[in-house]
Structure 1
Protein backbone atom coordinates (compact mmCIF):
# COMPACT_ATOMS: atom_id res chain seq x y z
CA UNK A 1 0.00 0.00 0.00
CA UNK A 2 1.35 3.41 -0.90
CA UNK A 3 2.19 6.29 1.41
CA UNK A 4 -0.92 8.18 0.33
CA UNK A 5 -3.17 5.26 1.25
CA UNK A 6 -1.37 4.74 4.55
CA UNK A 7 -1.88 8.40 5.47
CA UNK A 8 -5.57 8.08 4.69
CA UNK A 9 -5.81 4.90 6.75
CA UNK A 10 -4.30 6.59 9.78
CA UNK A 11 -7.30 8.93 9.78
CA UNK A 12 -9.71 6.00 10.16
CA UNK A 13 -10.98 5.62 13.78
CA UNK A 14 -9.15 2.83 15.56
CA UNK A 15 -6.70 2.24 12.72
CA UNK A 16 -3.55 0.41 13.81
CA UNK A 17 -0.32 -0.35 12.00
CA UNK A 18 -0.78 -3.59 10.00
CA UNK A 19 2.70 -4.72 11.06
CA UNK A 20 1.70 -4.52 14.73
CA UNK A 21 -1.58 -6.35 14.17
CA UNK A 22 0.24 -9.02 12.14
CA UNK A 23 2.72 -9.54 14.99
CA UNK A 24 -0.15 -10.15 17.43
CA UNK A 25 -2.29 -12.41 15.22
CA UNK A 26 -1.86 -15.30 12.74
CA UNK A 27 -2.37 -12.86 9.84
CA UNK A 28 0.43 -11.55 7.62
CA UNK A 29 0.85 -7.83 6.95
CA UNK A 30 -0.66 -8.19 3.47
CA UNK A 31 -3.63 -10.09 4.92
CA UNK A 32 -4.21 -7.36 7.51
CA UNK A 33 -4.19 -4.83 4.67
CA UNK A 34 -6.77 -6.93 2.81
CA UNK A 35 -8.82 -7.09 6.01
CA UNK A 36 -8.73 -3.31 6.11
CA UNK A 37 -10.40 -3.16 2.71
CA UNK A 38 -13.07 -5.50 4.06
CA UNK A 39 -13.38 -3.36 7.19
CA UNK A 40 -13.84 -0.19 5.12
CA UNK A 41 -16.57 -1.90 3.14
CA UNK A 42 -18.44 -3.00 6.25
CA UNK A 43 -18.01 0.28 8.13
CA UNK A 44 -19.57 2.30 5.31
CA UNK A 45 -22.41 -0.07 4.43
CA UNK A 46 -25.05 1.83 6.44
CA UNK A 47 -23.30 4.74 8.19
CA UNK A 48 -20.06 5.93 6.58
CA UNK A 49 -18.21 6.79 9.79
CA UNK A 50 -15.20 4.48 9.66
CA UNK A 51 -16.61 2.28 12.43
CA UNK A 52 -18.67 -0.91 12.26
CA UNK A 53 -22.03 -0.41 13.95
CA UNK A 54 -24.18 -3.28 15.23
CA UNK A 55 -26.61 -2.97 12.33
CA UNK A 56 -23.76 -3.14 9.81
CA UNK A 57 -22.31 -6.33 11.29
CA UNK A 58 -25.77 -7.91 11.56
CA UNK A 59 -26.53 -7.09 7.94
CA UNK A 60 -23.17 -8.47 6.76
CA UNK A 61 -23.57 -11.71 8.70
CA UNK A 62 -27.30 -12.33 8.51
CA UNK A 63 -28.66 -9.94 5.86
CA UNK A 64 -30.75 -8.44 8.63
CA UNK A 65 -30.54 -5.39 10.90
CA UNK A 66 -32.98 -6.87 13.43
CA UNK A 67 -31.87 -5.67 16.87
CA UNK A 68 -33.76 -8.54 18.52
CA UNK A 69 -31.37 -11.12 17.08
CA UNK A 70 -29.63 -12.56 20.16
CA UNK A 71 -26.97 -14.42 18.19
CA UNK A 72 -26.09 -11.29 16.21
CA UNK A 73 -25.89 -9.36 19.49
CA UNK A 74 -23.51 -11.93 20.98
CA UNK A 75 -21.24 -11.84 17.92
CA UNK A 76 -21.19 -8.03 18.06
CA UNK A 77 -20.36 -8.05 21.78
CA UNK A 78 -17.49 -10.43 21.05
CA UNK A 79 -15.98 -7.92 18.60
CA UNK A 80 -16.83 -4.83 20.68
CA UNK A 81 -14.03 -5.44 23.18
CA UNK A 82 -14.03 -1.83 24.44
CA UNK A 83 -17.80 -1.95 25.06
CA UNK A 84 -18.36 1.42 23.38
CA UNK A 85 -21.09 0.38 20.97
CA UNK A 86 -19.01 0.02 17.81
CA UNK A 87 -16.10 -1.96 16.37
CA UNK A 88 -12.86 -0.28 15.36
CA UNK A 89 -10.25 -1.79 13.05
CA UNK A 90 -8.01 -3.18 15.79
CA UNK A 91 -10.94 -4.93 17.46
CA UNK A 92 -12.07 -6.29 14.11
CA UNK A 93 -8.72 -7.90 13.25
CA UNK A 94 -7.94 -9.25 16.72
CA UNK A 95 -11.37 -10.81 17.19
CA UNK A 96 -11.46 -12.25 13.68
CA UNK A 97 -8.08 -13.85 14.38
CA UNK A 98 -9.74 -16.08 17.01
CA UNK A 99 -11.48 -17.86 14.13
CA UNK A 100 -8.20 -18.45 12.26
CA UNK A 101 -7.33 -22.16 11.77
CA UNK A 102 -3.91 -21.60 13.38
CA UNK A 103 -5.30 -20.02 16.55
CA UNK A 104 -4.82 -22.33 19.59
CA UNK A 105 -7.90 -24.30 20.59
CA UNK A 106 -7.74 -22.90 24.13
CA UNK A 107 -8.50 -19.41 22.78
CA UNK A 108 -11.45 -20.74 20.79
CA UNK A 109 -12.83 -22.51 23.88
CA UNK A 110 -12.58 -19.29 25.88
CA UNK A 111 -14.25 -17.32 23.10
CA UNK A 112 -17.13 -19.82 22.86
CA UNK A 113 -17.58 -19.58 26.63
CA UNK A 114 -17.98 -15.80 26.35
CA UNK A 115 -20.68 -16.25 23.72
CA UNK A 116 -22.78 -18.33 26.10
CA UNK A 117 -22.01 -16.29 29.22
CA UNK A 118 -24.71 -13.76 28.35
CA UNK A 119 -24.58 -11.83 31.61
CA UNK A 120 -20.77 -11.88 31.90
CA UNK A 121 -20.84 -13.52 35.33
CA UNK A 122 -17.97 -15.92 34.65
CA UNK A 123 -20.22 -18.95 34.38
CA UNK A 124 -23.02 -20.23 32.14
CA UNK A 125 -26.42 -20.62 33.76
CA UNK A 126 -29.17 -22.90 32.56
CA UNK A 127 -31.35 -20.08 31.22
CA UNK A 128 -28.41 -18.59 29.31
CA UNK A 129 -27.71 -21.91 27.62
CA UNK A 130 -31.38 -22.28 26.71
CA UNK A 131 -31.49 -18.78 25.22
CA UNK A 132 -28.40 -19.42 23.10
CA UNK A 133 -29.58 -22.85 21.92
CA UNK A 134 -32.89 -21.30 20.88
CA UNK A 135 -31.09 -18.45 19.08
CA UNK A 136 -28.75 -20.83 17.24
CA UNK A 137 -31.67 -23.00 16.14
CA UNK A 138 -33.47 -19.91 14.91
CA UNK A 139 -30.45 -18.82 12.85
CA UNK A 140 -30.32 -22.32 11.34
CA UNK A 141 -34.03 -22.10 10.46
CA UNK A 142 -34.74 -25.03 12.76
CA UNK A 143 -37.89 -25.12 14.84
CA UNK A 144 -37.87 -27.45 17.84
CA UNK A 145 -40.41 -27.70 20.62
CA UNK A 146 -39.63 -26.28 24.04
CA UNK A 147 -39.53 -29.84 25.43
CA UNK A 148 -36.77 -30.84 23.00
CA UNK A 149 -34.77 -27.71 23.79
CA UNK A 150 -35.14 -28.47 27.50
CA UNK A 151 -33.85 -31.99 26.82
CA UNK A 152 -30.78 -30.57 25.05
CA UNK A 153 -30.10 -28.23 27.97
CA UNK A 154 -30.60 -31.04 30.51
CA UNK A 155 -28.16 -33.31 28.67
CA UNK A 156 -25.56 -30.56 28.40
CA UNK A 157 -25.73 -29.77 32.11
CA UNK A 158 -25.56 -33.44 33.08
CA UNK A 159 -22.31 -33.74 31.13
CA UNK A 160 -20.76 -30.33 31.77
CA UNK A 161 -21.82 -29.31 35.29
CA UNK A 162 -19.36 -31.62 37.03
CA UNK A 163 -19.73 -30.21 40.55
CA UNK A 164 -23.53 -30.04 40.26
CA UNK A 165 -23.90 -26.42 41.36
CA UNK A 166 -26.35 -25.58 38.57
CA UNK A 167 -23.92 -23.57 36.45
CA UNK A 168 -20.97 -24.23 34.16
CA UNK A 169 -17.68 -22.54 34.99
CA UNK A 170 -14.76 -22.05 32.60
CA UNK A 171 -12.90 -25.18 33.67
CA UNK A 172 -16.02 -27.32 33.29
CA UNK A 173 -16.63 -25.76 29.88
CA UNK A 174 -13.06 -26.53 28.84
CA UNK A 175 -13.46 -30.20 29.81
CA UNK A 176 -16.86 -30.40 28.12
CA UNK A 177 -15.45 -28.92 24.90
CA UNK A 178 -12.60 -31.45 24.94
CA UNK A 179 -15.16 -34.28 24.98
CA UNK A 180 -17.41 -32.59 22.41
CA UNK A 181 -15.19 -31.15 19.63
CA UNK A 182 -18.26 -30.36 17.50
CA UNK A 183 -18.92 -27.54 19.97
CA UNK A 184 -16.04 -25.59 18.40
CA UNK A 185 -16.88 -26.37 14.79
CA UNK A 186 -18.08 -22.82 14.11
CA UNK A 187 -15.08 -21.27 15.88
CA UNK A 188 -12.82 -21.89 12.87
CA UNK A 189 -13.23 -20.25 9.47
CA UNK A 190 -11.02 -22.10 6.94
CA UNK A 191 -11.05 -19.26 4.41
CA UNK A 192 -9.04 -17.08 6.82
CA UNK A 193 -6.04 -19.11 5.62
CA UNK A 194 -6.38 -17.50 2.20
CA UNK A 195 -7.54 -13.92 2.48
CA UNK A 196 -8.14 -11.90 -0.67
CA UNK A 197 -9.89 -8.60 -1.22
CA UNK A 198 -12.95 -10.51 -2.41
CA UNK A 199 -13.33 -12.65 0.71
CA UNK A 200 -15.40 -13.77 2.59
CA UNK A 201 -18.80 -15.01 1.54
CA UNK A 202 -20.67 -13.34 4.38
CA UNK A 203 -19.64 -9.86 3.28
CA UNK A 204 -21.95 -7.87 1.09
CA UNK A 205 -20.57 -7.72 -2.43
CA UNK A 206 -21.62 -8.38 -5.98
CA UNK A 207 -19.81 -10.48 -8.56
CA UNK A 208 -18.97 -7.27 -10.41
CA UNK A 209 -17.34 -5.83 -7.30
CA UNK A 210 -15.42 -9.07 -6.77
CA UNK A 211 -14.04 -8.92 -10.31
CA UNK A 212 -12.98 -5.32 -9.81
CA UNK A 213 -11.26 -6.07 -6.50
CA UNK A 214 -9.55 -9.18 -7.80
CA UNK A 215 -8.41 -7.47 -10.98
Structure 2
Protein backbone atom coordinates (compact mmCIF):
# COMPACT_ATOMS: atom_id res chain seq x y z
CA UNK A 1 0.00 0.00 0.00
CA UNK A 2 1.34 3.41 -1.00
CA UNK A 3 2.10 5.98 1.68
CA UNK A 4 0.00 8.40 -0.40
CA UNK A 5 -3.03 6.13 -0.18
CA UNK A 6 -4.74 4.35 2.66
CA UNK A 7 -7.77 2.03 2.76
CA UNK A 8 -9.01 4.17 5.64
CA UNK A 9 -9.72 6.98 3.18
CA UNK A 10 -12.81 4.87 2.52
CA UNK A 11 -15.35 5.50 5.27
CA UNK A 12 -16.64 1.93 5.48
CA UNK A 13 -13.16 0.50 5.94
CA UNK A 14 -12.24 3.27 8.38
CA UNK A 15 -15.26 2.40 10.54
CA UNK A 16 -14.16 -1.21 11.07
CA UNK A 17 -12.72 -2.22 14.45
CA UNK A 18 -8.96 -2.76 14.34
CA UNK A 19 -9.13 -6.57 14.38
CA UNK A 20 -11.60 -6.72 11.47
CA UNK A 21 -9.71 -4.11 9.48
CA UNK A 22 -6.43 -5.96 9.97
CA UNK A 23 -8.07 -9.18 8.74
CA UNK A 24 -8.94 -7.44 5.46
CA UNK A 25 -5.95 -5.15 5.00
CA UNK A 26 -3.54 -7.74 3.60
CA UNK A 27 -6.10 -8.67 0.94
CA UNK A 28 -6.86 -5.14 -0.26
CA UNK A 29 -5.32 -4.16 -3.59
CA UNK A 30 -4.92 -0.52 -4.60
CA UNK A 31 -6.12 0.15 -8.15
CA UNK A 32 -5.98 3.31 -10.27
CA UNK A 33 -9.15 4.11 -12.22
CA UNK A 34 -9.05 6.43 -15.21
CA UNK A 35 -12.04 8.50 -16.29
CA UNK A 36 -14.56 6.18 -17.92
CA UNK A 37 -12.90 2.98 -16.66
CA UNK A 38 -15.35 0.08 -16.51
CA UNK A 39 -15.31 -2.06 -13.36
CA UNK A 40 -18.01 -4.42 -14.56
CA UNK A 41 -20.69 -4.70 -17.21
CA UNK A 42 -24.32 -5.89 -16.96
CA UNK A 43 -24.80 -9.61 -16.26
CA UNK A 44 -21.07 -10.14 -15.86
CA UNK A 45 -20.02 -12.24 -12.87
CA UNK A 46 -18.42 -10.01 -10.27
CA UNK A 47 -14.97 -11.03 -9.09
CA UNK A 48 -14.17 -8.16 -6.74
CA UNK A 49 -15.75 -5.60 -4.47
CA UNK A 50 -14.35 -2.08 -4.77
CA UNK A 51 -13.95 0.48 -1.97
CA UNK A 52 -13.32 3.89 -3.60
CA UNK A 53 -11.05 6.39 -1.91
CA UNK A 54 -10.67 9.23 -4.43
CA UNK A 55 -12.55 7.82 -7.45
CA UNK A 56 -16.31 8.19 -7.88
CA UNK A 57 -18.09 5.32 -9.57
CA UNK A 58 -21.34 5.62 -11.49
CA UNK A 59 -23.81 2.74 -11.31
CA UNK A 60 -25.16 3.05 -14.81
CA UNK A 61 -28.10 1.51 -16.65
CA UNK A 62 -28.12 1.32 -20.44
CA UNK A 63 -31.33 0.58 -22.37
CA UNK A 64 -31.65 -1.39 -25.61
CA UNK A 65 -32.06 1.93 -27.44
CA UNK A 66 -28.64 3.06 -26.21
CA UNK A 67 -30.08 5.63 -23.81
CA UNK A 68 -28.52 5.55 -20.37
CA UNK A 69 -28.75 7.09 -16.90
CA UNK A 70 -27.02 6.89 -13.54
CA UNK A 71 -28.93 5.15 -10.76
CA UNK A 72 -26.41 6.08 -8.06
CA UNK A 73 -22.91 7.35 -7.47
CA UNK A 74 -20.43 5.64 -5.15
CA UNK A 75 -17.46 7.40 -3.65
CA UNK A 76 -15.43 7.16 -0.46
CA UNK A 77 -18.61 6.68 1.57
CA UNK A 78 -19.30 3.23 0.16
CA UNK A 79 -18.46 0.25 -1.98
CA UNK A 80 -19.25 -1.19 -5.39
CA UNK A 81 -20.46 -4.78 -5.62
CA UNK A 82 -23.32 -5.19 -3.14
CA UNK A 83 -24.64 -8.09 -5.26
CA UNK A 84 -21.80 -10.20 -3.88
CA UNK A 85 -23.32 -10.32 -0.39
CA UNK A 86 -26.98 -9.81 -1.32
CA UNK A 87 -27.38 -13.23 -2.90
CA UNK A 88 -26.24 -12.71 -6.49
CA UNK A 89 -22.98 -12.57 -8.40
CA UNK A 90 -24.21 -10.39 -11.26
CA UNK A 91 -25.97 -7.05 -11.61
CA UNK A 92 -28.04 -5.46 -14.40
CA UNK A 93 -26.06 -2.21 -14.12
CA UNK A 94 -22.54 -1.30 -15.15
CA UNK A 95 -20.03 0.46 -12.91
CA UNK A 96 -18.03 3.24 -14.60
CA UNK A 97 -15.54 5.73 -13.18
CA UNK A 98 -17.29 9.10 -13.42
CA UNK A 99 -14.40 10.78 -11.61
CA UNK A 100 -10.91 9.30 -11.98
CA UNK A 101 -9.01 8.29 -8.87
CA UNK A 102 -8.22 5.27 -6.74
CA UNK A 103 -10.01 2.44 -5.02
CA UNK A 104 -9.13 -0.69 -3.09
CA UNK A 105 -10.48 -3.95 -4.39
CA UNK A 106 -11.17 -7.12 -2.44
CA UNK A 107 -11.59 -10.58 -3.94
CA UNK A 108 -15.17 -11.79 -3.64
CA UNK A 109 -14.42 -14.94 -1.63
CA UNK A 110 -12.61 -12.92 1.03
CA UNK A 111 -15.46 -10.41 1.18
CA UNK A 112 -18.02 -13.18 1.68
CA UNK A 113 -15.85 -14.90 4.25
CA UNK A 114 -15.66 -11.75 6.35
CA UNK A 115 -19.30 -10.79 5.73
CA UNK A 116 -20.55 -14.20 6.87
CA UNK A 117 -18.76 -13.86 10.20
CA UNK A 118 -21.63 -11.58 11.19
CA UNK A 119 -19.44 -8.86 12.65
CA UNK A 120 -19.08 -5.14 12.07
CA UNK A 121 -18.41 -5.51 8.34
CA UNK A 122 -21.76 -7.19 7.84
CA UNK A 123 -23.61 -4.50 9.80
CA UNK A 124 -21.82 -1.68 7.97
CA UNK A 125 -22.47 -3.16 4.52
CA UNK A 126 -26.15 -3.78 5.22
CA UNK A 127 -26.56 -0.23 6.52
CA UNK A 128 -24.74 1.06 3.46
CA UNK A 129 -27.04 -0.95 1.19
CA UNK A 130 -30.05 0.75 2.76
CA UNK A 131 -28.47 4.16 2.10
CA UNK A 132 -27.66 3.17 -1.48
CA UNK A 133 -31.28 2.11 -2.06
CA UNK A 134 -32.44 5.47 -0.74
CA UNK A 135 -30.08 7.21 -3.16
CA UNK A 136 -31.42 5.17 -6.08
CA UNK A 137 -35.04 5.93 -5.21
CA UNK A 138 -34.38 9.63 -4.71
CA UNK A 139 -32.41 9.82 -7.95
CA UNK A 140 -35.29 8.26 -9.87
CA UNK A 141 -37.70 10.86 -8.45
CA UNK A 142 -35.22 13.67 -9.08
CA UNK A 143 -34.71 12.70 -12.72
CA UNK A 144 -38.47 12.72 -13.26
CA UNK A 145 -39.52 15.87 -11.42
CA UNK A 146 -36.62 18.33 -11.18
CA UNK A 147 -35.03 20.60 -13.75
CA UNK A 148 -31.72 19.82 -15.43
CA UNK A 149 -30.13 22.72 -13.56
CA UNK A 150 -31.29 21.31 -10.22
CA UNK A 151 -30.05 17.86 -11.15
CA UNK A 152 -26.68 19.24 -12.21
CA UNK A 153 -26.32 21.11 -8.92
CA UNK A 154 -27.23 17.95 -6.98
CA UNK A 155 -24.67 15.92 -8.92
CA UNK A 156 -21.92 18.51 -8.48
CA UNK A 157 -22.57 18.84 -4.74
CA UNK A 158 -22.53 15.06 -4.26
CA UNK A 159 -19.25 14.85 -6.19
CA UNK A 160 -17.67 17.62 -4.09
CA UNK A 161 -18.54 15.73 -0.91
CA UNK A 162 -16.43 12.81 -2.13
CA UNK A 163 -13.26 14.51 -3.41
CA UNK A 164 -10.67 16.69 -1.64
CA UNK A 165 -10.68 19.39 -4.33
CA UNK A 166 -13.13 22.05 -5.47
CA UNK A 167 -12.33 21.16 -9.10
CA UNK A 168 -13.74 18.15 -10.95
CA UNK A 169 -12.23 16.60 -14.07
CA UNK A 170 -15.33 15.57 -16.00
CA UNK A 171 -16.89 16.38 -19.36
CA UNK A 172 -20.35 17.78 -19.99
CA UNK A 173 -21.02 14.78 -22.21
CA UNK A 174 -20.30 12.35 -19.40
CA UNK A 175 -22.52 14.28 -16.98
CA UNK A 176 -25.30 14.28 -19.60
CA UNK A 177 -24.98 10.50 -19.96
CA UNK A 178 -25.11 10.00 -16.21
CA UNK A 179 -28.17 12.22 -15.78
CA UNK A 180 -29.85 10.75 -18.85
CA UNK A 181 -30.35 14.11 -20.57
CA UNK A 182 -29.15 15.79 -23.75
CA UNK A 183 -25.72 17.38 -23.70
CA UNK A 184 -27.28 20.67 -24.82
CA UNK A 185 -29.28 20.71 -21.60
CA UNK A 186 -26.13 20.38 -19.49
CA UNK A 187 -24.38 23.06 -21.55
CA UNK A 188 -27.27 25.47 -20.96
CA UNK A 189 -27.49 24.70 -17.23
CA UNK A 190 -23.70 24.97 -16.75
CA UNK A 191 -23.76 28.27 -18.61
CA UNK A 192 -26.33 29.68 -16.18
CA UNK A 193 -24.27 28.55 -13.21
CA UNK A 194 -21.12 30.07 -14.68
CA UNK A 195 -22.80 33.39 -15.42
CA UNK A 196 -24.07 33.38 -11.84
CA UNK A 197 -20.51 33.05 -10.54
CA UNK A 198 -21.13 29.60 -9.03
CA UNK A 199 -18.81 27.57 -11.23
CA UNK A 200 -16.04 28.05 -13.78
CA UNK A 201 -16.06 25.67 -16.69
CA UNK A 202 -13.40 24.91 -19.25
CA UNK A 203 -13.18 21.86 -21.42
CA UNK A 204 -13.13 18.79 -19.19
CA UNK A 205 -12.85 20.76 -15.92
CA UNK A 206 -15.48 22.24 -13.60
CA UNK A 207 -14.34 24.37 -10.66
CA UNK A 208 -16.90 25.24 -7.99
CA UNK A 209 -16.48 28.86 -6.92
CA UNK A 210 -19.49 29.26 -4.62
CA UNK A 211 -20.46 26.05 -2.84
CA UNK A 212 -23.16 27.68 -0.71
CA UNK A 213 -24.74 29.26 -3.76
CA UNK A 214 -24.57 25.97 -5.65
CA UNK A 215 -26.28 24.10 -2.82
CA UNK A 216 -29.05 26.71 -2.74
CA UNK A 217 -29.78 25.93 -6.42
CA UNK A 218 -29.86 22.17 -5.86
CA UNK A 219 -33.14 20.35 -5.26
CA UNK A 220 -34.05 18.78 -1.92
CA UNK A 221 -32.74 15.42 -3.18
CA UNK A 222 -29.18 16.40 -2.32
CA UNK A 223 -30.02 16.91 1.38
CA UNK A 224 -32.10 13.70 1.54
CA UNK A 225 -29.29 11.60 0.10
CA UNK A 226 -26.58 13.29 2.17
CA UNK A 227 -28.55 12.61 5.37
CA UNK A 228 -28.41 8.88 4.62
CA UNK A 229 -24.61 8.93 4.71
CA UNK A 230 -24.45 10.64 8.10
TM-score by structure 1 length? 0.34
Q: Which one has the bigger strand percentage?
A: 2
TM-score by structure 2 length? 0.32
Highest CA radius of gyration, 1 or 2? 1
Q: Which one has the bigger helix percentage?
A: 1
